């Protein structure tokens, strides 16, 4: 017999354990039995081929439609071409110099096929896949592998799903009964089966009823662990008092409101009032402000910061990139005018000062900024991660504003929380332009109160979005560049966005890291430096063009953005460094190259950089992904609506179970595997109420050691994932 903490070799042998460790980071018995099936297959029910993703290692149940053998060019060998079908679509399998497979893969045979999904001549294919024939006439396959439903696990090229099933079955047969972390009374009250029963059933269910009962029990445990962790965070936050920052009738805030050149929206006024009330309390505000791109979150945040400065304290604005931090500093200085010119000729009475603090500031500027911060001369401090460094000291920090929270971990947010002085916590306002469904906000940001800005300020222009499928219609790309020229000829400007920088690219703050290799049949992602050179010499020759990416020195990045904002450039070719905060009203066109390499929310964010003025915007999503794939469906969804809240739901619907909270399907392990933030709203709400009651009774859960251990495992394993981003 084995226990959960035992090494895997005790259950499956040294050779298999080494393979599981190397391919999937499964090291212990507990790691393996908590590696749940991604889905289940039923004999006769074939896998939907249309749902496959390029580059993924997929396991599909399919039927052989046809088999063909042919010589390679120059007689270098043979290719066995096997066409699979799900009854609707086809998937090609190619075996190179492996003609012997034809004896097993005859038309009509059903099997599990596993391999990396690639593309060739605009068709999906698997190259040299592994396969496992199934006998549909019995409940057991050819080697007695499965009884009942067939579990399909997240797999890799080195360890296939059916091999995982064999290992799990062998291990469960040796495993001691598992202790239930839920107290018996709690479990019985909610009508759930035991933890041991649930774990065994999810791997070896004989029918769908067994799967559903097991999933509900395990999802409840995951939801409860998350909500207990969040309830403990809320309880701990309230234990430290906050600086009281009451409104001042004739202060900076009132002066700013009087000179606003526009009328606040109803949403801005409502959210602003809620924040103002929170800031005047002695308990720290912990609020999430979400809103569409261009909904006016910055104005709401600035009014909150001025209320804090009026109370004699400081406000810090944390931005994810230097480009965005510098833009915030310029924007706030322009909005405040003489209200931000304390100590300068022409500065208003009771004016404050804005300090910008980033990692690449010249030594003299950095020294002055640090002095302004520690002395309190700067009422508003804007910076990047540099603000979190220990050497940065505040005179009296009353409010922390975190822009684009999904770019920061919870530890980074907490690092600033400790700067308000002995036994005090500053108020915290977290902002995001990535709309969040209620269930996600309740789970991922459950330690924060949530406010939303859905109304766009008057004057925002419509944005039309279109997919440019260059593999099917290559002439459309030429038309895209003509469209850019037309916008420039009309006196406007354009962005061209690429997934990576180019040359010897290192990890960069603004680069999409999902860079697939050529093994999936696609070329490497397009790079800014390559595309800019090609456009300058070809399709956009004669236009004023510049590049922008995170690897540029700060002064160069700033110079490019200033030139673009001033209208001295026609086109900026950039990475996702322009994703957030960049505000150039005259920019009306955006072409996103390899748009399939970006996520739904990221595409929506990027699109929000155009249409910010009076002229309508256009966003073109260039892709080589074939029609009918999940990737193209994602792009079509972005093109079909401008509603970020609707796209947030679409994004969740299109992600696989278990990947919703940021953990990958294979490799990196997460304590959250089954919980669906879109479909389990009632369960999450129920777990939240239960967690609040439990923590109110015993904040440290000392009376419930099983629950305490469950929370400890979750926070240790996935804290940065489940609290960091969606």
Task: For 352-402, write each residue's pLDDT tens digit.
Answer: 999 999 888 888 998 999 999 999 999 999 998 888 776 788 999 999 998
Range with the largest mean pLDDT of 36-40, 442-446, 532-536: 532-536
Q: What mean pLDDT value characterizes the chain?
A: 83
In this prediction, residue 716 carries a pLDDT of: 58
In this prediction, residue 454 carries a pLDDT of: 77
Q: 674-677 — which CB contacts under 8 Å span 24+ positions? A: 674/36, 674/215, 674/218, 674/219, 674/222, 675/219, 675/222, 675/223, 675/226, 675/443, 676/219, 677/437, 677/439, 677/440, 677/443, 677/444, 677/652, 677/726
The yes or no reply on domain 9-178 and CATH 1.10.3720.10 is no
pLDDT, tens only, 691-713:
999 999 899 999 899 999 888 87
In this prediction, residue 382 carries a pLDDT of: 95
- Residue 546 parent element (H or E): strand 545-548
Stretch 428-434: mean pLDDT? 83
In this prediction, residue 657 carries a pLDDT of: 35
Rounded CA gap, 723 and 720, in Å? Answer: 6
Range with the largest mean pLDDT of 125-129, 534-538, 624-628: 534-538
Both structure tokens of 31: 């790691």
Both structure tokens of 554: 């700060």
In this prediction, residue 403 carries a pLDDT of: 86
Task: Tell whether the model's pLDDT for residue 507 goes beyond 50.
Answer: no
Least confident range from 273-287, 408-422, 478-492: namely: 408-422
In this prediction, residue 656 carries a pLDDT of: 44
Grade residue 628 by pLDDT with cuts at 50, 70 and 90.
Answer: confident
Grade residue 135 by pLDDT with cuts at 50, 70 and 90.
Answer: low
Both structure tokens of 526: 């397009």
The fold for domain 252-453 equals: Rossmann fold (3.40.50)
In this prediction, residue 55 carries a pLDDT of: 78
In this prediction, residue 420 carries a pLDDT of: 62
Task: Tell whether the model's pLDDT for residue 308 goes beyond 50.
Answer: yes
Gyration radius from the chain CA atoms: 28
Stretch 239-259: mean pLDDT? 89
In this prediction, residue 726 carries a pLDDT of: 30
In this prediction, residue 633 carries a pLDDT of: 86
Whether 463-641 and 252-453 are alike in CATH topology: the answer is: yes
Task: Locate the domains of the chain by residue range.
Answer: 9-178, 252-453, 463-641
Rounded CA gap, 46 and 389, in Å? Answer: 54
Residues with Cβ within 8 Å of 328's Cβ and at least 6 positions away in sequence, in order, are 298, 317, 319, 382, 403, 581
Percent pLDDT > 70 in the chain is: 84
Grade residue 9 by pLDDT with cuts at 50, 70 and 90.
Answer: very high
Range with the largest mean pLDDT of 317-331, 435-449, 458-472, 480-494: 480-494
Distance spanning both ends of the chain, measured CA to CA: 39
Grade residue 634 by pLDDT with cuts at 50, 70 and 90.
Answer: confident
In this prediction, residue 291 carries a pLDDT of: 81
pLDDT, tens only, 251-304:
999 999 998 888 898 999 999 999 999 999 998 898 889 887 677 888 999 999
Rounded CA gap, 53 and 301, in Å? Answer: 40
In this prediction, residue 416 carries a pLDDT of: 67
In this prediction, residue 323 carries a pLDDT of: 79
The fold for domain 463-641 equals: Rossmann fold (3.40.50)
**For the whole prediction, is pTM greater than 0.85?**
no
Grade residue 155 by pLDDT with cuts at 50, 70 and 90.
Answer: confident
In this prediction, residue 372 carries a pLDDT of: 93
């Amino acid at each position: 017999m084995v226990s959960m903490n035992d090494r895997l070799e005790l259950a499956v042998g040294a050779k298999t354990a080494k393979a599981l460790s190397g391919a999937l980071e499964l090291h212990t018995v507990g790691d393996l039995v908590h590696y749940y099936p991604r889905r289940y297959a039923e004999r006769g029910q074939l896998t939907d081929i249309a749902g496959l993703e390029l580059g993924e290692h997929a396991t599909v149940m399919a039927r052989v439609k046809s088999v063909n053998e042919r010589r390679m060019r120059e007689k270098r060998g043979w290719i066995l071409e096997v066409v699979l079908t799900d009854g609707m679509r086809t998937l090609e399998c190619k075996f190179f110099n492996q003609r012997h497979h034809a004896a097993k893969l005859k038309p009509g045979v059903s099997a599990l096929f596993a391999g990396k999904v690639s593309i060739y001549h605009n068709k999906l294919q698997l190259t040299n896949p592994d396969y496992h024939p199934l006998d549909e006439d019995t409940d057991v396959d050819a080697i007695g592998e499965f009884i009942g439903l067939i579990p399909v696990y997240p797999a890799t090229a080195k360890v296939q799903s059916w091999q995982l099933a064999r290992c799990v079955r062998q291990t469960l047969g040796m495993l001691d009964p598992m202790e239930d972390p839920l107290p018996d009374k709690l479990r019985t009250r909610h009508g759930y089966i035991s933890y041991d029963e649930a774990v065994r059933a999810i791997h070896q269910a004989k029918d769908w009823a067994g799967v559903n009962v097991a999933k509900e029990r395990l999802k409840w445990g995951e939801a409860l662990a998350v909500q207990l962790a969040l309830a403990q965070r809320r309880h701990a936050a309230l234990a430290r008092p906050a600086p009281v920052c009451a409104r001042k009738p004739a202060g900076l805030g009132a002066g700013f409101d009087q000179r606003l050149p526009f009328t606040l929206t109803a949403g801005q006024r409502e959210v602003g009032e809620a924040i103002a009330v929170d800031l005047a309390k002695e308990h720290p505000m912990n609020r999430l402000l979400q809103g569409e791109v261009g909904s006016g979150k910055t104005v709401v945040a600035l009014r909150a910061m001025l209320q804090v400065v009026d109370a004699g304290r400081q406000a810090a604005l944390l931005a994810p990139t230097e480009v965005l931090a510098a833009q915030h500093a310029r924007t706030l200085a322009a909005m405040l005018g003489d209200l931000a010119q304390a100590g300068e000729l022409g500065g208003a009475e009771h004016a404050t000062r804005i300090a910008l603090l980033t990692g690449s500031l010249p030594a003299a500027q950095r020294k002055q900024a640090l002095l302004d911060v520690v002395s309190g001369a700067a009422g508003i401090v804007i910076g990047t991660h540099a603000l979190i460094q220990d050497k940065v000291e505040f005179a009296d920090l009353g409010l922390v504003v975190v822009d684009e929270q999904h770019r920061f971990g919870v530890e980074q947010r907490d690092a600033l929380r400790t700067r308000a002085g002995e036994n005090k916590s500053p108020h915290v306002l977290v902002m995001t332009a990535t709309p969040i469904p209620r269930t996600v906000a309740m789970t991922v940001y459950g330690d924060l109160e949530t406010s939303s800005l859905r109304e766009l300020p008057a004057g925002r222009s419509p944005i039309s979005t279109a997919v440019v499928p260059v593999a099917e219609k290559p002439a459309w790309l030429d038309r895209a560049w003509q469209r850019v020229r037309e916008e420039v000829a009309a006196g406007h400007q354009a962005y061209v966005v690429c997934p990576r920088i180019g040359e010897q690219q290192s990890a960069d703050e603004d680069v999409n890291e999902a860079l697939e290799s050529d093994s999936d049949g696609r070329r490497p992602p397009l790079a800014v430096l390559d595309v800019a050179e090609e456009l300058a010499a070809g399709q956009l020759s004669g236009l004023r063009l510049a590049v922008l990416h995170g690897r540029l020195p700060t002064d160069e990045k700033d110079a490019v953005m200033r030139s673009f904002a001033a209208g001295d450039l026609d086109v900026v070719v950039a990475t996702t460094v322009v994703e957030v905060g960049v505000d150039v009203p005259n920019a009306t066109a955006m072409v996103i190259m390899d748009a399939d390499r970006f996520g739904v929310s990221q595409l929506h964010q990027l699109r929000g950089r155009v249409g910010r003025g009076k002229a309508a915007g256009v966003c073109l999503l260039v892709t080589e992904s074939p029609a009918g794939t999940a990737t193209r469906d994602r792009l079509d969804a972005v093109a079909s609506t401008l509603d970020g809240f609707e796209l947030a739901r679409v994004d969740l619907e299109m992600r696989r179970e278990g990947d919703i909270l940021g953990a990958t399907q294979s490799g990196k392990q997460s304590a959250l595997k089954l919980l669906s933030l879109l479909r389990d709203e009632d369960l999450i709400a129920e777990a939240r109420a239960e967690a609040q009651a439990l923590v109110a009774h015993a904040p440290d859960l000392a009376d419930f050691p099983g629950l305490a251990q469950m929370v400890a495992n979750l926070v240790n394993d996935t804290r940065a994932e489940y609290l960091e981003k969606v």
